[in-house]
Amino acid sequence: MADTNGNKNGFAVHVRNVTKTFGTGEAQVVALKGVDFDARMGELLMIVGPSGCGKTTLLSVIAGTLVFEAGEIDVFDSPLHRLKNREVTEFRKRNVGFIFQQFNLIPTLSILENVSVPLLINGVGRVKAEKKAREVLERMGLAGRENDRPTLLSGGQQQRVAIARALVHDPRLVICDEPTSALDKDTGAKIMELLRDVARHPDRCVIVVTHDNRVFKYADRMTEMEDGRVHKVHENYSQYEQKGNH
C-alpha cells in the first residue's frame, strides 16, 4: 500500500474535492469546501493564505491526522479515504514526518531520545535508533548536544531537532506547520534552507503551511487558499510576487 513508489499522475499528494466540517447545527463551520490540490515529488510546496482559510485543516487531512467527510486523498498512491484508522496510523508511521510550529519536543526527554522517537514507534531497537538519531543530529549541526534537554536549546536549535526528528525515519512526505513563525528572521531563513535541502530528493515531498511572508521565496510552488478553497496555484515565488501578492 503506502510503500509503493508509483505516484498517481506523477503526484506525491493528490487531493480531489475534499470537504471537512467542524461542529454541528448552527455552530457548523465548513473548513474545506471541495478542495482540489496536488503536490509533486522533490518539491517544497507552500500553502499560504489568511488565518482561518483552511491551510492547517488541509495539512491535517493530507497527513492523515484528521478525518474528512467527502472527497479523495491519495498520498504516494495510498488512498487515505479508503483506509481504516489503523491503516492510516500505520501509513503515517512509515511515510510522514512532522514539523510543528511549537516544535512539540518532549521536555523530559533528551534531544537524542526525542529524535529517536519515530524510529522507536516503527519498532527499531533503541541502540540502532539512537545511532541513526545521532547521525541525523550531526547533519543538523547539533553534534555534542545529544544529551541536553530541549529546553536548554534556542528556538532555532529546537526547530532543527524537530527537523531531525521528522527526517530520522526517512519519510517521503514531510509536513511542516508554520515552521518559522516562532523564530527570528535569520533563524527562520536557516531553517527554510534546511527544509529546501530536504525537499531536494526525488522520492520526497515537503509541504509547508505558513503565513510568514519572509520565507515565501523558498517555495518551489505556492498554493494560495481562501475561504476553504484553493484559490490559486503559483508555479514559483516570482509568479506569486508578480501578481501583486507580496
Cβ-based nearer residue to other proteins, 5 or 102: 102
In the complex, what is the shortest distance from the CB of residue 39 to other proteins, in angstroms, rounded to a whole number?
17
What residues contact residue 115 under an 8 Å CB cut-off, 6+ apart?
133, 136, 137, 161, 164, 165, 168
Cβ-based nearer residue to other proteins, 4 or 108: 108
- Of 174, 178, 137, nearest to 157 (Cα)? 137
- Site for other proteins, rule CB under 8 A: 56, 59-60, 63, 65-67, 86, 89-90, 92-94, 96, 98, 100-102, 104, 106-109, 113, 117-118, 120-122, 126, 177-178
Cβ-based nearer residue to other proteins, 67 or 152: 67
Identity (one letter) of the amino acid at 169? H
In the complex, what is the shortest distance from the CB of residue 65 to other proteins, in angstroms, rounded to a whole number?
4
Burial class (CB in 10 A: 0-12, 13-18, 19+), 192: buried
In the complex, what is the shortest distance from the CB of residue 245 to other proteins, in angstroms, rounded to a whole number?
23
Would you put residue 219 in left (φ > 0), alpha (ψ -120 to 50) or beta? Answer: beta
Sole residue written with cell 506525491: 12
Cβ-based nearer residue to other proteins, 15 or 237: 15
Cβ-based nearer residue to other proteins, 1 or 217: 1
In the complex, what is the shortest distance from the CB of residue 86 to other proteins, in angstroms, rounded to a whole number?
7
Strands 221-226 and 44-48: parallel
For residue 56, the tally of other CB atoms under 10 A from its CB is 17
In the complex, what is the shortest distance from the CB of residue 150 to other proteins, in angstroms, rounded to a whole number?
11
**Contact of 233 with 35, CB cutoff 8 Å:** no
Cβ-based nearer residue to other proteins, 98 or 218: 98
**Contact of 59 with 70, CB cutoff 8 Å:** no
In the complex, what is the shortest distance from the CB of residue 172 to other proteins, in angstroms, rounded to a whole number?
14
**Contact of 166 with 174, CB cutoff 8 Å:** yes
